[in-house]
Amino acid sequence: MKTAIITGVTGQDGSYLTELLLSKGYKVVGLKRRTSLINTDRVDSFYDNPNFILEYWDLNDTGSLYRIIGKYKPNEIYNLAAQSHVRVSFDIPEHTVDGVAMGPLRILEAIRNIDPNIKFYQASSSEMYGDSPCPKTGYIEDSRMTPASPYACAKLFSHNLVRNYRESYGIHASSGILFNHESPRRGETFVTRKITIAAARIKLGIQEHLFLGNLDAKRDWGYAGDYVEAMWLMLQQDKPEDYVISTGETRAVRDFLKEVFDIAELSIDKYVRIDEKYFRPQEVPYLLGNSIKAKTNLGWEPNIKFKDLAKMMYEEDLNRYSKNFNHGL
């Protein structure tokens, strides 16, 4: 039986990856920060599975990292832990950079010193491309990167670090340059979930308006459940490499908003307000990925389409808030 460690296991990607690996017969050791709030709802369904273990760890806790790796002797480590909200990174840049940049360094050093045969996956981000000119066919792995936020700058550092450790020490380390990937498990402060939650609450009469920032920003949106399969496939290859993971289609925030509000039969003009506090100090106007390398080398392609993703997310939130509303919560 293979053993995998997943950092950030209680996040959107961590929960989907846990599902995938358990279905493939792995033992999964999930790492999460200890907080005063119970925030394990995304992984609660795994607790009865004897092959799922939850451990506490923080991105700056080197001692616990060495202990956990020594205890469980993993075959693979997937680093999905980070403060991943781009807008928030402008407000807490030091905290963001320390976790996003130094966390992967601590893991790679642990692998190098404990067992260089451990395979490592790093969650890179399309935000690394920033405002660099986008080719007509989309960004590829070697496209120019000019990050435009503290989060993206830190991600680029760790992205380059993975390549450095791969080439310097022969570690099987790969980065997935994931473009925006959403789901009903997406954090509630991210724009897609803000939209689907607000639409559900407005439909039920328990919210009056939705406040948003830049509606013209264009992103390549896919489904998180599809994208975690690509993560796993990267670590099954003989040769470690970096891969763009995307749908190859880009749409504005406005398009996602319209899709959801059309499904909910709501008027954007009536319920949506623009608030400048949700704009970034530096905007990234356009992101489009080209994942031909992943298709060729990994056999990976996205399955869930944009319209189906919007519908899935809205219906899940509507169902959740309907239950809460009916129970007086």
What's the CATH number where 114 sits? 3.40.50.720
User: What's the domain range around 239?
Assistant: 3-182+221-245
> Model-level pTM?
0.94
The structural domain count of the chain equals 2
275 and 165 within one domain: no
Catalytic entry in 16, 121, 151, 223? 151
Is 59 within the bounds of a domain? Answer: yes
User: 250-273, pLDDT tens digit by residue?
Assistant: 999 999 999 999 999 999 999 999
Can you tell me the distance from the alpha carbon of 112 to that of 297, in angstroms, rounded to the nearest whole number?
27
Q: Annotated catalytic residue: which of 84, 126, 127, 227?
A: 127
**Three-class secondary structure of residue 309 per DSSP:** helix
122 phi, psi to nearest 5 deg: -115, 130
pLDDT tens per residue, range 157-176: 999 999 999 999 999 999 99
Based on the fold, state whether residues 19 and 155 are members of the same structural domain.
Answer: yes
In the chain (329 residues long), the average pLDDT of successive 10-residue segments reads 96 96 98 68 84 90 93 98 84 91 95 98 96 94 95 96 98 97 94 97 96 95 98 98 98 98 97 91 90 98 97 97 70
127 is catalytic: yes
Task: Report if residue 301 sits inside a domain.
Answer: no
Q: Which of 124, 125, 174, 291 is catalytic?
A: 125
- Beta-carbon contacts of residue 49 (< 8 Å; ≥ 6 apart): 22
Active site residue 229: no
The CA-to-CA distance between both ends of the chain, in Å, stands at 43
User: Do 27 and 146 belong together in one domain?
Assistant: yes
In a domain, residue 291? The reply is no
Reply yes or no on whether 182 is catalytic: no
Do residues 265 and 165 both lie within one domain?
A: no
- Dihedral sign from CA coordinates of 64, 224, 140, 288: negative
pLDDT at 60: 83
The pLDDT value given to residue 33: 79
Contact by Cβ (8 Å): 140, 248? no
Tell me what pLDDT residue 39 has: 66
Please tell me the predicted confidence (pLDDT) of residue 328.
Answer: 54
The two most distant CA atoms of the chain are separated, in Å, by 59
Q: In this predicted structure, what is the pLDDT of residue 326?
A: 65
Q: Evaluate whether 258 touches 229 at the Cβ level (below 8 Å).
A: no
